[in-house]
Amino acid sequence: MTAVAARYDQFKALDTEVLAMSTDSRFVHKIWQEQELSKMVSGGVPFPMLSDAGGKIGAIYGVYDEAAGVDIRGRFIIDPDFVIRAMEVLTPEVGRNPDELIRQIKAFQHVRATGEVTPSGWQPGQVTLKPGPALVGRVWEAWKP
């Protein structure tokens, strides 16, 4: 979460909202912000930290572990029409990659704006593909891994 907080300006520049959510109470979030997060990122986490007490939202997103009473760590990219475009769920031992998250947001925004598709590892300015009959059997001509 603090890795995303450290790049928050980049997310805002992409017109992206960032929310954090856990089964912890708002009081736990407040103490965590004051005692830990603010020491990792100047000023602490600048985006809302929401409480999913009881895991109802986590259950809808498929990340609530009922036996443990916690939401499993994950991230979701939700488009302006509230459609989940991507999700990544990892156990706590392995951290998520905010640079990859930013790359994916840029790719989804490009796809939404142009109707083109982005190949693996795409970065802005690189080759995109235009879906349609002309592309069938010819992807290899336009894109090399």
pLDDT more than 70, % of the chain:
100
Average pLDDT over residues 63-80: 95
What was the pLDDT predicted at 91? 85
- CA 50/CA 46 separation, integer angstroms: 13
Residue 92 has pLDDT above 90, yes or no: no
Locate the domains of the chain by residue range. Answer: 2-97
Average pLDDT over residues 38-44: 94
Fold of 2-97: Glutaredoxin (3.40.30)
Query: Which residues, other chains included, contact 73 with Cβ-Cβ below 8 Å and sequence gap of 6+?
Result: 63, 89, 90, 91, 92, 96
Backbone φ, ψ for residue 20 (5° rounding): -115, 145
- CA 3/CA 18 separation, integer angstroms: 12
